[in-house]
Chain A
């Protein structure tokens, strides 16, 4: 695969060439088609509500009132909560693996954590429904929650689910820091911890931030586990955006709404269906923005270290 292999004179039509481009084309067409469909099908809702669709606080489909703000709020709060819980543990575990463990043990740790990532979300949801929900209800009894179906429950569950993502990406970022930098620091007499805190972590910072952001994107798109424990209460808007009270109340996220029965009954009424597809488009936009930022930070981190080594 050196440059000469790509010399245009070598390029001839062949089955391999045609098939690989064909299948690539099919994959691209599916992506573009899906995106196009979201845009076209959600058009009636945008025409009907305009920007009010994003900032409106009321969703009553029988009155043709579509405001997605409470769901956007739910999605963001739950994802941020998950991130706050998972980021320190995930990054801590990654630091331990890279800075203190021998290679074999580090890989073992990574395999274990990635196995955790493989557990299906419906199983997390089941654990949430049968165990975590009751536990949250009992622990926070002093605050009189109506039930164990709260934003907090969903956040804790999501925190468990994105822990492996954070850990594994943070591990990649820390591993990207050239070993020579570590050796130099150790040579200057720094302890392993000082090397980790003053050399590796600052060097890997954009990559660590990327790990957190990509996990945030994951958390925001997670459906089934959240659906099962969040209570799916529409139109929950906090009295103050910084208030912690809604954490112990039921709520709704973009994904739990999309996964609910309204998706089944909406099809056939262009406006209602448009609103559902609009929610999908809002969700996709949020996730894409977060993922793009994360990918951009990862690239910065990567380039920086290429210059070093």
Chain B
């Protein structure tokens, strides 16, 4: 009897932990939706920021964030592809492979603010770009490299051996195998990883606050030097520190709602596939 009781008690206790985790997500999303819903309307998406955030909309903030994401996408895709192929194919049987994996883990752990201050030295000061969308995009692209690479590497790792064996049997060279077997078969891993990575990049403030984004007075960038963009996370970051005006508050919650719709939307599409790849790679 006592054993049964302990069993049920422990199950209930851990179940409560699981429930609490889900409730936290529900609570956070609900509190933002409730407060931000009323701010969402056509004008909010199509107008510029006005009156230091108390009026107007977030048009250029959304555009700026999309520009940063597109740049990060362009920067990260070749790096992640190259890195994953070298890791999983060219260095497959080398002791360097484990070191590259560890490097990805470490890079993933690097605090995002460090991307910001190192990027500030390189792009803003040494290259003399000032604040530039390109600097922000490059930094975000590097920051999400581990997320994208790990997903791609796990996907390549779980490809059935018979695919490559068949390709070898046909007399294909290694580069041909990569191009016509490995890449087409693992492209889903790349896309999944990129979506998750971009979801993370979309919400990051620290890497871009010193390098790429300003609060007001920027629209579509015309060049590279001195071409900052507005962005959603930085907008929220600045307004949050000055959130006593009720008009600002309403817009603030509205911006937060738009940001989490963007981020959770990307994650929600990619997460189930990501978890499946992860399970196949690690617990087959």
Our pick among B105, B122, B142, B206 for the contact of A37 (Cβ within 8 Å) is: B122
Q: Which of B46-54, B76-84, B218-226 contacts A (4 or more CB under 8 A)?
A: B76-84
Within 8 A of B (CB), among A205-248: 214, 217-218, 220-224, 228
Q: Which of B13-21, B55-63, B66-74 contacts A (4 or more CB under 8 A)?
A: B13-21
Q: Which of A50-58, A59-67, A259-267 contacts B (4 or more CB under 8 A)?
A: A259-267
**CB 8 Å contact bits of A259-286 with B (1 = contact, 0 = none):** 1000110010000000011001001100
Within 8 A of A (CB), among B234-284: 236-237, 240-241, 243, 249, 252, 256, 259-260, 263-264, 266-268, 271-272, 275, 278-279, 282-283
Say yes or no for B210: interface residue by CB 8 A criterion. yes
Interface pair B256/A126, CB less than 8 Å apart: yes
Say yes or no for A139: interface residue by CB 8 A criterion. no
Our pick among B92, B174, B249 for the contact of A10 (Cβ within 8 Å) is: B174
A286 closest partner in B (C-beta): B111
Helix, strand, loop or mixed for chain A's interface?
helix
A-B contact count (CB 8 A): 291
Within 8 A of B (CB), among A117-134: 118-123, 125-127, 129-131
Interface pair A24/B86, CB less than 8 Å apart: yes
Our pick among B15, B118, B203, B267 for the contact of A115 (Cβ within 8 Å) is: B267
B240 CB to nearest chain A CB (Å): 5
Helix, strand, loop or mixed for chain B's interface?
helix
**CB 8 Å contact bits of A282-293 with B (1 = contact, 0 = none):** 011001101110
Inside 8 A of B200's CB, which chain A residues have their CB? Answer: 118
Say yes or no for B187: interface residue by CB 8 A criterion. no
Interface pair B117/A258, CB less than 8 Å apart: yes
Say yes or no for A48: interface residue by CB 8 A criterion. no
Complex: A41 Cα to B252 Cα, angstroms:
37
Our pick among B90, B93, B267 for the contact of A17 (Cβ within 8 Å) is: B90
A267 closest partner in B (C-beta): B125
B181 closest partner in A (C-beta): A1
Interface pair B179/A27, CB less than 8 Å apart: no
Inside 8 A of B272's CB, which chain A residues have their CB? Answer: 107, 111
Complex: A97 Cα to B168 Cα, angstroms:
42
Count how many chain A residues have C-beta atoms less than 8 Å from C-beta atoms of the other chain: 101
Known: A176-B283, A221-B111, A223-B112. A1 touches B205 (CB 8 A): no
A9 CB to nearest chain B CB (Å): 11
Say yes or no for B178: interface residue by CB 8 A criterion. yes
Say yes or no for A140: interface residue by CB 8 A criterion. no
Complex: A22 Cα to B118 Cα, angstroms:
23
Interface pair A1/B267, CB less than 8 Å apart: no
Inside 8 A of B159's CB, which chain A residues have their CB? Answer: 1
Say yes or no for B95: interface residue by CB 8 A criterion. no
What are 5 of the A-B contact pairs (CB < 8 Å)?
A: A101-B18, A120-B202, A192-B11, A193-B11, A221-B109
Residues of B within 8 A of A (CB): 3-4, 6-7, 10-11, 13-18, 20-22, 24-25, 28, 31-32, 78-79, 81-83, 85-90, 92-93, 102-103, 105-107, 109-118, 120-122, 125, 142, 145, 159, 161, 164-165, 168, 173-175, 177-179, 182, 196, 199-200, 202-206, 209-210, 233, 236-237, 240-241, 243, 249, 252, 256, 259-260, 263-264, 266-268, 271-272, 275, 278-279, 282-283
